Amino acid sequence: MCLTAQDSLDTPLPIQGIADNSFPADIDSAKFFEFYKKEDIDLTQTNNMALYYEVFRWYKTCYRYSGSSDKGIDCSGFSQMLYKKIYGKDVPHGSYSIYPLCIPIKDKSKLQEGDFVFFTIRSKSRISHVGVYLQNGQFAHASTQAGVIISNLSEAYYTKYWYRGGRLKD
């Protein structure tokens, strides 16, 4: 069953120093902070809070091949939507189509918030999965099994299929 992050969390945390009115009206600030705390993401380290708001809104949205709506979305549709909404940049729908538009990043330690992360899951010679890097090895993506989630590049599965990161060319 696909849920939203706001549906799946129910323990409010006290929020100090941040007024609720600074949040988008559709986001419960307590659930937002609880969610990222569970994901081990330090929001004080972000350069673009809008990226984290949008990932939160889409969390657990169901996976649908070639999907690009809240009824179901695939990995490239999710990455495409984030780039359009957060950065105002158009990228194609198709993980293998996005990569040529990027400056390749081989070293994971060089990744920056908002970079693409690419994987060769179905074939070692063709990119078949993409996500958007957040911080500390964490990236947001649409998984075929769980929908939109946050995963870590150090997980065995993603280490096995890692191809490269990519920073969109200007």
The whole-angstrom separation of Cα 62 and Cα 145 is 9
- Averaged confidence pLDDT in the chain: 89
Residue 16 phi, psi (nearest 5): -110, 135
Do the Cβ atoms of 6 and 25 come closer than 8 Å?
A: no
Q: Domains of the chain: which residue ranges? A: 5-168
pTM of the model: 0.88
DSSP annotation of 9: -
pLDDT at residue number 169: 96
- List the catalytic residues: 75, 129, 141
The DSSP annotation for 48-87 comes to -HHHHHHHHHHTTPPB-TT-EETTEE-HHHHHHHHIIIII
pLDDT at residue 13 tops 70: no
pLDDT at residue 80 tops 50: yes
- Write the pLDDT tens digit of every residue in 103-161: 999 999 999 999 999 999 988 889 999 999 999 999 999 999 999 999 999 999 999 99
CATH code assigned to 5-168: 3.90.1720.10
What stretches of the chain adopt beta strand conformation (E)? 68-69, 72-73, 102-105, 116-119, 129-135, 138-143, 147-152, 162-168
Specify which residues 126 forms β-bridges with: 123
Question: Looking at residues 94-100, what average pLDDT do you find?
Answer: 96
The whole-angstrom separation of Cα 111 and Cα 105 is 7
pLDDT at residue 15 tops 90: no
Do the Cβ atoms of 91 and 159 come closer than 8 Å?
A: no
Alpha carbon 111 to its chain centroid, in Å, reads 14
